[in-house]
Amino acid sequence: MSLDLPGPQAVRKLQPGRLVIASHNPGKVREIRALLGPYGVEPVSAAELDLPEPEETGTTFVANAELKARQAADLSGLPALADDSGLCVEALGGDPGIFSARWAGENKDFAEAMRRVHAALEAAGPDAPRDAHFICALALAWPDGHVEWFEGRVDGTLVWPPRGDKGFGYDPMFQMEGMGRTFGEIDPDNKHGISHRAKAFEQLVKAVF
3-state SS of 89-110 is EHHHCCCEHHHCCHHHCCCCCH
d(CA 171, CA 183): 5
171 binds, among Mg ion, ligand Y43, none (CB under 5 to 8 A by kind): ligand Y43
Residue at 93: amino acid letter: G
| Residue 117 binds Mg ion (CB under 5 A) | no
Q: Write out the binding residues for Mg ion, residues 46-105 only, by CB under 5 A.
A: 101
- Is 23 annotated for ligand binding? yes
Do 14 and 209 contact (CB within 8 A), yes or no? yes
85 binds, among Mg ion, ligand Y43, none (CB under 5 to 8 A by kind): ligand Y43
User: Residue 151: helix, strand or coil by DSSP?
Assistant: strand
d(CA 187, CA 28): 15
- Is 145 annotated for ligand binding? no
Size of the site for Mg ion (CB under 5 A): 1
Q: Is 84 a catalytic residue?
A: yes
- Is 55 annotated for ligand binding? yes
Q: Write out the binding residues for Mg ion, residues 94-113 only, by CB under 5 A.
A: 101
Which residues define the annotated binding site for substrate? Answer: 23-28, 85, 168-171, 191, 196-197
